[in-house]
Structures are given as C-alpha cells and as structure tokens.
Amino acid sequence: MKLGLKTIKRQILELKDNGYSHVWIYYLIQIVSVALISYITVVFSKTIIDLFIKENLEEVLLYTGIYTGILCIVVFGKVFTNSKTSNIFLNIRLIQFEKYYDKYLNIDYIHLEDADFQKKIEPSLVALSSNNYGFEYTYTLSFQLISLFISALVYIIILTQFNYYITLACFLGMIINYFIYKKISNIEYEEKDNLALKRRKTGYFYNTTYDFSYGKDIRLYDLDKHLIDSYKNESKGLLRIYNKIKGKSLFLKLFEIISIVIRNGLAYYLIIESYFNQNLEISSVMMLLTSITLLSINLNDIGIKAGLFSQHLKYTQDYYKYIDSKEITYEKGNELPLLNDIEINLVDVSFKYPNSDKYILKNINLKIDSNSKIAIVGENGAGKTTLIKLICGLLRPTEGKIFVNNIDSALFSQKAYYKMFGMVFQDTAIFAGSILENVMGTKKENIEFAKLAINKSGLEEKVNSLELKYDQPLLKVIHSNGIDLSGGQIQKLNIARAIYKDAPIVILDEPTASLDALAEEQIYSDFNEVAKNKTSIFISHRLSSTKFCDKIILLTKEGIKESGTHDELIKEKGLYYKMFEVQGKYYQEVEA
C-alpha cells in the first residue's frame, strides 16, 4: 500500500516536473462535465415524462432543447479534456522511454549477455509498451475513476433520497467487484515473468523474419519453415499462459454476476413495490430505475478499473524499480584526467559470469606499456575477447584489479573509462544512417576529420563511387536508397570510427576473421600506420599479422602460456612456434 501511494505521488510529480501541472484544469472540467451529464440524464428524463403526462408539448420541446444543448456542451467538454489529457499522458510516457533507453544504454555490459537479467527487466518495458498498459494507463485509469466516482455520487444522492438500503447494496457490490478484479489482476501479474519470456521469444522470431540482414540466409538455407514453426510453438506457449489466466478469472467473475443480480434485484423490488403502494409516480419510477441502472454500470466499472489500476500500478512500480536500480550501472566515479601516456596493469585478474562457477580467465597478470603494440593470440575459447572486454571496461573483474597509471580502474566512471579506447570488434554493427553518421555518432564537431578518418581506413575509393558520397545512407531499413557494404568495407568503416574517436588506446578484436589473408594483411598494415604513437592491442588467429607487435601474448585456457616478441617466441620453439608453422604450411598449400 505504502509503495503504491509512493508510486502515485511520483507520477503526479512527473506531471509537474515536465510542465503539465495544468492537467488538473482538465480534471476539473471533466468532473463538472460528468456531474452535469449524470444529473441531467436522470432528472430531465423525469421532468420530460411529467410534461408528457400533462400533455404540455411546448414545455416538452423546451426542456428537450435545453437538455440537448447542455448535453452537446458537456460531451464537447469531455471529448476536449480526453483529447488534451491523452496527449499529455502520451508525452509523459515518451519521456519515460527516453529515461528507459538512457538507462539501458548505460547498463553494465555484463547484464546485456545475461538472459535472466533480460527476463527480470522485461516487465519494466511492458509498463511503457502501450497507452493501455502500465505507466500511461494508470494516468488514464485515474482520470476515468474520478469521472466514475463523481457520476456514481450523483446517482447515490438521488437514490439515497428514496431508500438508503439501495445505496448500501451498491456500495457492497462495488467493494466485492473491487476485490474480485484485484484478484484477477494479481493472477495476470503473477504470470508476468513467464509472459515476459514468451513475449521476448515470439518477438525474436517475429523480428528475425522481417530483418533484412537475415533475408539471404533464410531463403538460401530454407529456414522459413523453421522460423514459422518456432514462432508457432512459442505463440502456443503464450496462448497457454493467457488461457490459464482466463480460466482462473472466469471462476471469479461468477461472483461478480451474482453480486450484480442481488444488488439490482433488491433495488428493482423496492422501487416497484413503492410504485404499487402508490408512494411513487411513474416519472419517479423511471428516474430511479435509470439511476440504479446507471449506478450499477458505474460501480461495476469502478470495481473493474480499480482492479486494473492496482495491477498496472505494479507494472509502473517495476518501471521505477528499474530506473532507480543502482547495482546495474557504473554511472558514478571520477573523470579520467587527460593522459597521453597510459599504462595498464592487470593484477591477478579472474573472471566468471554471474550465476556460474566456471572461470573463463584465471589469475591473469599483464602489463601494457604506453604506446606499445600488443598482440593477443591463442586457441578458440581461451578467453581472448573476454580479456579485451575486461581491459576496455565492458566487463569488470570477478577477482583482482585493473590499474590505469597505478589508479584502480573501478574508481573511474564508466563513460570516462570508455573514452580511452577505440574498439574494432569482430562482430561489428552498422546503423541505418549515413556513412558520416556511422563514423561520428553524436560527436559531430569535426566533419572534415571524420572524412579524413574514412579515407585513412581505406574507404575513399568506395565513397567516391557513391552518388551521395559521405552522406550516402546505409541499409534499407529506413532509407529506400540505402546500400549494403561488404564485410571488408564494414570493417574499414569501424576502423574509421576508431580513427575518428582518436582515443589513446586502439583495440582490434579479430576484425578480419571473415576476410582472406591478403585483405587482412592490408587492413592490419593500414591500421598499424594510423595507430602510430598510440597503444595498440590486436587479436588475430593469423599469426603472420602480429609480426609488427612489440609483444605477443599467447593465451590458452590455462592462462598466459607464452609472452615475447615474434622472433623471441619463434626461437623458443614452444606452442606459438608450432601454431605459426602449421599456419605457414596451410597458406603455402593454398597458394600452391
């Protein structure tokens, strides 16, 4: 209860903080409109019937005209306020989307790879998913509930003047309905985690079907049936959960029907009995029957909407819980001083994922000197990419520490720490924007330098062949004239990003894994030229590309196996030498 009131107060403050305090004017207009329409609907009907009985046509037409005029004004008032408040509530929800995604984009990277975490935060996104769910819906429901309460109050005042037993019966029915629909709402909320998982799975197969990047593989490898069958299976699972919820809800709704029958039956009996005892005129009977019918509908709606409000307030609480969570981000910390010479030192660093007992890296000790060129090589599964993610701050050590110029890296804010690194990953991503936008991102202060970075990455010839040059859109998801780049061109574009960022440390994590040896050699050679006077870290399966490095780290599943220059490791004739010899023979055979 306390948490619910806190959430309501917070949503009210959202209106004030975002310049929508005037929404209460619309609430007031709605209250007056609803009170008027409720009153005149009942009272004017009695007056008009009395005039019909007296056969006073002129007054019948007069009162009908007055009623119609007031009704038009009131209905316009309701439509006007509903339109205004709907826009306000929508704008507030869109503002929350900005907060949500800002939070999500700053979540510690390790959580993005955790399916359990994704399942945990799904309800918070559900709260923002539509105008009939969670955050915005609680505003809408509160607006509707106030209107319903005012309308019910008018009918209750009218009925109380006749018989307070009817009013008491209506109140009891409303309370019963509230608890029934609160229980129904809790049934669905209790299934939120299962619903979230099924929605995420069905959403994945649905989005994959429409994703252009999967189009070739789906058609060439006949994957359409697999995707459709997978979607059907997950959809059936989702449907089973909804049927389970509806099955439990149906039983509870039987009590609602019983309460309505008892409540309305009692009211109708008392009204009809009074009429036959000549205590009521026919116009009063019609007024009371209209009042009890409309009150019954109102109280039923109040019970339903109050239950829904309770449910969707919980989704809103999930959203605020996600926004307020501190353990999933590293927003706080010191700014990194501007440094030209950066030394990184890993001391007894070990890493394993949450909820796992298996260490991916164990007791790693590694010193990276300023302006040095380091190559990290090794067998698949040795943890090379994980090591790089630890160095650049995407992951945090489970044990041990990483020092930057003898300062614990954990003391720096996440964004400050990221500024040190220009990264080119093997699983690169491009965005539906221009070539320039893909390189610059939000850092758009130097367009000429961005063009220079693109040229230095080896894309100049490709760009010059395009009609829009540097402004050429990529991908066809948003732009109809978007183009697709080859694998090598995508890698060059990512290298251009790293050049444009101009960070003191540049890292290439097997960016040429899908390219041939000559293309890879060219990219590494070009990047080596660009990365002069910077600390550079390279990961590659092809050992020939590491010759220019100052130090080569050979990583195995047991840890760092060998360390030294290319010539030193060749002379040692250890594992590095054997791997180099095997690869050399392979390429000689291919060339032959």
Partners of 562 in the β-ladder:
554
Contact 369, 379 (CB under 8 A): no
**How buried is residue 79: exposed, middle or buried, by Cβ count under 10 Å (0-12/13-18/19+)?**
exposed
Query: Sign of dihedral through CA atoms 544, 545, 549, 552?
Result: negative
The answer on 551 and 470 residing in a single domain is no
450, 484, 518: which is the final residue of a domain?
484
Indicate the number of domains in the chain. Answer: 3
The answer on 509 and 446 residing in a single domain is no
The answer on 493 and 468 residing in a single domain is no
Please give the pLDDT value at position 403.
92
Contact 271, 289 (CB under 8 A): yes
| Confidence (pTM) | 0.68
Please give the pLDDT value at position 590.
46
The answer on 511 and 410 residing in a single domain is yes
Please give the pLDDT value at position 211.
67
Cα–Cα distance list, 509 to 437, 492, 520, 580 (Å): 23, 13, 12, 19
Residue 398 sits at the vertex; the CA angle it makes with 392 and 404, to the nearest 5 degrees, is 40
Partners of 473 in the β-ladder:
434
The token pair that represents 72 in the structure block: 């038009």
Please give the pLDDT value at position 528.
66
Report if residue 418 sits inside a domain.
yes
The answer on 548 and 470 residing in a single domain is no
CB half-sphere exposure, 38, CA atoms < 13 A:
26
The token pair that represents 451 in the structure block: 């063009």
> What is the per-residue pLDDT across 90-116, written as a single tens digit (0 to 9) for each?
888 888 888 888 888 777 777 777 777
Please give the pLDDT value at position 346.
92
What are phi and psi for residue 342, nearest 5 degrees?
-120, 125
Measured between alpha carbons, how far is 382 from 561 in angstroms, rounded to an integer?
A: 11
Measured between alpha carbons, how far is 49 from 55 in angstroms, rounded to an integer?
A: 10
Kindly give the parts of the chain with pLDDT less than 70.
Answer: 1-4, 210-223, 327-340, 442-444, 511-530, 542, 544-545, 584-592
Radius of gyration of the chain (CA): 35
Contact 356, 552 (CB under 8 A): no
Report if residue 403 sits inside a domain.
yes
Contact 329, 103 (CB under 8 A): yes
Range of the domain at 535: 344-430+485-591
Report if residue 255 sits inside a domain.
yes
Q: How many CB atoms lie within 10 A of CB 257?
A: 9
The answer on 304 and 222 residing in a single domain is yes
The answer on 384 and 252 residing in a single domain is no
Cα–Cα distance list, 29 to 14, 80, 217 (Å): 21, 9, 58
Report if residue 131 sits inside a domain.
yes
The answer on 536 and 398 residing in a single domain is yes
The answer on 383 and 290 residing in a single domain is no
**How buried is residue 237: exposed, middle or buried, by Cβ count under 10 Å (0-12/13-18/19+)?**
middle
Report if residue 331 sits inside a domain.
no
235 Cβ neighbours under 8 A, 6+ residues apart: 202
The answer on 367 and 260 residing in a single domain is no
Question: What are the contacts of 488-493 at 24+ separation with CB within 8 A?
Answer: 488/512, 488/515, 488/519, 488/523, 489/459, 489/462, 490/428, 490/430, 491/424, 491/428, 491/515, 491/523, 492/457, 492/458, 492/459, 492/523, 493/428, 493/430, 493/435, 493/438, 493/439, 493/454, 493/457, 493/459
The answer on 372 and 466 residing in a single domain is no
Contact 459, 489 (CB under 8 A): yes
Give the domain CATH number at 575: 3.40.50.300
Query: Sign of dihedral through CA atoms 464, 469, 475, 480?
Result: negative
The torsion of the CA quartet 276, 281, 287, 293, rounded to 10 degrees, works out to: 10
The answer on 349 and 458 residing in a single domain is no
Report if residue 22 sits inside a domain.
no
484, 506, 522: which is the final residue of a domain?
484
Q: Per DSSP, which regions of 533-583 are E strands?
A: 535-539, 551-556, 559-564
